[in-house]
C-alpha cells in the first residue's frame, strides 16, 4: 500500500475555483483501479492550506494515476491556484516496528 500526502497552499482569492476544480480530480481518482481512498483535508491552522491524502494498493496504481487524463488536467491548471510549490510525500503503508 502507498500513502501520499500532497500539501497545497491556495491563493485565498481563488479558493472557491480551486475547490470546484479539485472536485473532478477527487471523483475520478476514486474510480480508478487500485485506489483505496482519495480525500482533500483543510488545515485547521492555515486558512488557505489543504492536504490531499491518497491511499493506493500499489506503486503501479500510483503510476497509472499519474498518467490519467483527469490528473494531468489538474496538474496543468494547479499553478493558477497555488501560492507555494506543491509539497508531496509518499509512504509505504506499513507500520514501522522497532
What mean pLDDT is reported for the chain? 96
pLDDT of residue 4: 98
> What is the spatial distance between Cα 96 and Cα 98, in angstroms, rounded to a whole number?
7
Q: Domain locations in the chain?
A: 2-85
pTM of the predicted protein model: 0.90
Q: What is the DSSP string of 19-53?
A: HHHHHHHHHHHHTSTTEEEEEEEE-SS-TTEEEEE
For residue 18, give the 3-state DSSP assignment: helix
pLDDT of residue 98: 76
- CATH fold of 2-85, please? Alpha-Beta Plaits (3.30.70)
pLDDT of residue 81: 97
For residue 76, give the 3-state DSSP assignment: helix
pLDDT of residue 75: 94
Question: Could you list the mean pLDDT of each consecutive 10-residue stretch along the chain, which spans 98 residues?
Answer: 97 96 97 98 96 97 97 95 95 84
> What is the spatial distance between Cα 22 and Cα 40, in angstroms, rounded to a whole number?
9
Amino acid at each position: 500500500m502507498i500513502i501520499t500526502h500532497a500539501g497545497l497552499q491556495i491563493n485565498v482569492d481563488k479558493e472557491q475555483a480551486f475547490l470546484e476544480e479539485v472536485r473532478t480530480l477527487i471523483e475520478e481518482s476514486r474510480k480508478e483501479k487500485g485506489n483505496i481512498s482519495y480525500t482533500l483535508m483543510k488545515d485547521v491552522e492555515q486558512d488557505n492550506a489543504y492536504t490531499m491524502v491518497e491511499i493506493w494498493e500499489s506503486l503501479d496504481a500510483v503510476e497509472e494515476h499519474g498518467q490519467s487524463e483527469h490528473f494531468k488536467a489538474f496538474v496543468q491548471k494547479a499553478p493558477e491556484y497555488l501560492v507555494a510549490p506543491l509539497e508531496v510525500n509518499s509512504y509505504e503503508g506499513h507500520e514501522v516496528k522497532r
